[in-house]
Amino acid sequence: MYGLGILKGLSITLKHFIQTFLDDLKRGKSRKKTPQGIAYKQSTELTGLFTVEYPEEKLPVPEEFRYIPFLVYEEEGGEKKLRCTSCGICSKVCPPQCIYIVRSTDPETGKPVPTPAEFCIDVDICMNCGLCAEYCPFDAIKMDHDYEIASFDRMKHNAFDISRLAKPVSYYASIRPGNYKIEEEIRAAKAAAKQGAAST
């Protein structure tokens, strides 16, 4: 009673406040805007300040981090070839159904061609659940790591079409090296099995 509780409470806050500076002094220059400094802030050893100075400092995202999906394309001799076959599984599995696909048709025969003529994702609706990437049988649609997609006019910019969605395989390999490696192994094994079956 008699306000002792308030004093005790304030002393805790003060202790934390001082501790932050002590921690900063101890760690010197490496504490800010360096990878070590950020790694320290994510480690359970941390005692001082928790916050990072975004956008100068950014927390690294883990490999499985998911944001808006993107379409993977292969670069073969300078030509972009989307892996997407416009089978439509992603648009069927999408819970809010934000994916719109129009299948290409051959202009001469009128028959459908397994590549999308239009592929649109309404990112205002997309809930970043990752089901499209999970159930795509061709590894053609993947979840991106780029979370800085703010724009000035959402009516103009927030419906992503192929030109905005398509990204090279090399980009995919760079953001998700672990997954990429596993998938490439499976693809190589499948190709080998196919070749083996063809040669016999």
Partner 1 sequence: MSDQPTAAVTAGETFLEWFTADERPGYAGYIVPAERMHEAAEYLKTRKHFDMLTSVTAADYFPEDRIEMIYHFRRSTGGEPLRVKSFLSRENSQIDSLVDLYPGAELQEREVWDLMGVRFTNHPDLRRILTWEGFAGHPLRKDWKEPFYEEEVKPFKSRWPEGKFVRAEEKNPLGDNTRFPAGFDPDTWVPDNDDILYKSMTHVAKAGEDGFDSDTIIVNLGPQHPSTHGVFRMVARLDGETVVDLKPVMGYLHRNHEKIGERNTFLGNMPFTDRLDYICAMSNNFAYALAVEKLLNVAPPERAEYIRVIMAELTRIVNHLVANGFLLNDLGAFFTPVLYSLEEREFILDFFEAVSGSRMMCNYFRFGGVVRDIDENAMKMLKAILERLPRKMDELEKYLTGSEIVRVRAEGVGVLTPEAAIANSASGPLLRATGVPYDLRRADPYSIYDRFDFDICVRYHGDIYDRFMLRLDEIRQSIRILKQAVKDIPAGPVITGKPQYQVRVPAGESYGRVEGPKGELGFYLVSTGKTNPARYHVRAPTFINLTSLAGMSRGNKVADVVTILGSIDIVLGEVDR
SS3 (DSSP) at 144: coil
125 in contact with partner 1 (CB under 8 A): yes
C-alpha to C-alpha distance for 63 and 88, rounded to whole angstroms = 26
Interface residue with partner 1 among 159, 162, 169, 173 (CB under 8 A) is 159
Spatial contact of 69 and 143, defined as CB atoms under 8 Å apart: yes
C-alpha to C-alpha distance for 103 and 82, rounded to whole angstroms = 13
155 in contact with partner 1 (CB under 8 A): yes
42 in contact with partner 1 (CB under 8 A): yes
SS3 (DSSP) at 61: coil
92 in contact with partner 1 (CB under 8 A): yes
The smaller minimum CB distance to partner 1, of residues 82 and 91, is found at 91
Choose the binding region for partner 1 from 20-28, 81-89, 165-173, 191-199 (rule: CB under 8 A). 81-89
DSSP letter for 12, please. Answer: H
Name the minimum Å distance from CB 166 to partner 1. Answer: 16
54 in contact with partner 1 (CB under 8 A): no
Choose the binding region for partner 1 from 23-31, 42-50, 69-77, 163-171 (rule: CB under 8 A). 42-50
163 in contact with partner 1 (CB under 8 A): no
**Token pair of 52, please?**
């990072």
DSSP letter for 182, please. Answer: H
| Terminal alpha carbon distance of the chain | 90
91 in contact with partner 1 (CB under 8 A): yes
Choose the binding region for partner 1 from 1-9, 18-26, 73-81, 184-192 (rule: CB under 8 A). 1-9
Number of other CB atoms surrounding residue 70 within 10 Å: 23
C-alpha to C-alpha distance for 101 and 129, rounded to whole angstroms = 19
168 in contact with partner 1 (CB under 8 A): no
Spatial contact of 47 and 26, defined as CB atoms under 8 Å apart: no
123 in contact with partner 1 (CB under 8 A): no
C-alpha to C-alpha distance for 187 and 138, rounded to whole angstroms = 10
Residues that bind partner 1 (CB under 8 A): 1, 4-6, 8-9, 12-13, 16, 42-44, 50, 61-66, 86, 88-89, 91-95, 97, 99-103, 118, 120, 122, 124-125, 127-131, 134-135, 143, 155, 159, 178
